Amino acid sequence: MKNVLRVCAILASIFLLAGPHLTLGGDGSVQQELKPAKVVMCESVQQSGPVNQAAVFSIELGRVTCFTEFEQVLQHTLVRHKWYRKDNLIAVKRLSVAPDRRFSSSSMQLRDADKGPWRVDVTDADDNLLATLRFSITD
């Protein structure tokens, strides 16, 4: 009984110190709720930031990038960028974020057949939707 009370006291302390960014998982583990601070489409990433943000990109670029930055990352965790062209899943990129690296990015190489509407769904490790970006590829 003392051990149960001790575990409850420790978990209560963790929640009080961490605030609303932690939840208790079904298996009793402490899980983080990720909150996106910045989610943009861009031409590239340099020095930990997006370059040339836009919603319409020329096929001539050859590549587009999804950049995601989170408000607070308390522990190492996975996120996914799910790339869709015309609502068809094209690729899933598994990425990691950590307290010392709160951002992630993934890129998609473009071909002529890739013109049209696109979207990227950003999800957490449990596949909960965090953000959706819509953009287009044109001539």
Residue 127 has what pLDDT?
Answer: 96
| Cα separation, 127 vs 13, whole angstroms | 28
Residue 33 pLDDT class (50, 70, 90 cuts):
confident
* Mean pLDDT of the region 77-82: 98
Q: What amino acid is encoded at 114 in this protein?
A: D
Residue 16: pLDDT above 90?
no
The domain spans of the chain are 1-32, 34-138
* Mean pLDDT of the region 29-51: 89
**Beta strand 63-70 pairing with 77-85:** unpaired
Residue 8 has what pLDDT?
Answer: 45
Give the number of other Cβ atoms within 10 Å of residue 22's Cβ: 17
Tell me which of 2.40.50.100, 2.30.40.10, 2.30.30.30, 2.60.40.1930 is the CATH number of domain 34-138. 2.60.40.1930
